[in-house]
Amino acid sequence: MENIKAFIFDLDGTVYLGDDLIEGARETLRWVRSKGVQVRFVTNNPRFSRDFYANKLNNLGIDASVEEIVTSANVTAIYLKNEEAYGNIYPIGEAQLEKELKNAGVPLTDKQPDTVVVSFDTALDYEKLMIAYHALRKGANFLATNPDTVCPTPDGGLIDAGAIIAALEASTNRKVEEVIGKPSSLLAKMILKDLKLQSEQCIVVGDRLNTDIKLAKQVGMKGVWINTHHEELPKDLVHEPDYIIRSIKDLPSLFSDSKKVNKSF
Ligand SMILES: [Mg+2]
């Protein structure tokens, strides 16, 4: 624990499920705060602002400041602001993404864009797809905020950015070039830079192997997998978690006796 200077938490499925706090999350976050380490909360959902997530956590009784929230829309805006070579951007996404891009000073257009950015868009229509399709056929850069194909909801999920990427890949015979959200190493490096820490000083805690744990392991951070549904580790897994627990409430006990820390915990 002495070497750990930051905890990076996934939100949905880790800290809360939909609108309900997960049992023990408040106590675990209080324990994390008592260690005096930095904290980040990272979500791939680009539809809501960092203020929204900070408020949501505060209303659930968890301390969180806006600066500690990382959303895929916000990091995409920061990334594009610093990479001017992407030129004029056409975003497929909702008002929040557009707002983040505008606030960052990223130039937007629906006429001959240099770059298409695909995102989670519940107001997607044929016209938006066609603007992106024509731009990609003419060689525009092909980026996305997040890779998730479905956003989990109590009703069975919402079609997410990954499925819109797939439609454009199928119709243009191209492949998306950069996906900014989890599990990209680009995002991991942006978080490390913001924390001003080395990867071995950070722990990612999340319930998805292919997003949260992969985010951690590809840059050398530690990964704690919350295996809520008692799943087996896939045999062909490339990025193995360092620790496996059943719930966020078990996190403090992982560190209470270092001799006990192992994968069969
Ligand atoms: Mg999750």
Query: How does pLDDT run across 177-235, given as a tens digit for each residue?
Result: 999 999 999 999 999 999 999 999 999 999 999 999 999 999 999 999 999 999 999 99
- CATH class of the domain whose range is 76-179: alpha beta
- In this predicted structure, the answer to whether residue 137 has a pLDDT above a threshold of 80 is yes
Model pLDDT, residue 257? 62
Q: Are strands 38-43 and 69-71 parallel, antiparallel or unpaired?
A: parallel
Average pLDDT over residues 98-125: 97
The count of other CB atoms within 10 Å of the CB of residue 190 is 17
- Angle, CA 80 vertex, CA 10 and CA 222 arms, to 5°: 30
Ligand 1 centroid from CA 246, angstroms? 13
Are both 6-44+182-260 and 76-179 of the same fold?
yes
Ligand 1 centroid from CA 207, angstroms? 5
Per-residue pLDDT of 110-119, as tens digits, reads 999 999 999 9
Q: What is the DSSP string of 163-227?
A: HHHHHHHHHHT----EE-STT-HHHHHHHHHHHT--GGGEEEEES-IIIIIHHHHTTT-EEEEE-
What residues have CB less than 8 Å from 219, skipping those under 6 apart? 185, 188, 189, 192, 199
Q: Where are the beta strands (DSSP E) in 18-157?
A: 20-21, 38-43, 69-71, 89-92, 115-118, 141-144, 150-151
Amino acid type, 207: D
User: Which residues are close to ligand 1, an ion, with C-beta < 5 A?
Assistant: 10, 12-13, 207
Ligand 1 centroid from CA 148, angstroms? 11
Per-residue pLDDT of 228-258, as tens digits, reads 999 999 999 999 999 999 999 999 999 886 5
- In this predicted structure, the answer to whether residue 69 has a pLDDT above a threshold of 90 is yes
The pLDDT > 70 percentage for the chain reads 97
Ligand 1 centroid from CA 12, angstroms? 4
- Return left, alpha or beta for 70; rule: phi > 0 is left, psi -120 to 50 is alpha, else beta: beta
The architecture (CATH level 2) of 6-44+182-260 comes to 3-Layer(aba) Sandwich (3.40)
Break the chain into its structural domains and give their ranges.
6-44+182-260, 76-179
| Gap between the Cα atoms of 102 and 199, Å rounded | 31
Model pLDDT, residue 265? 38
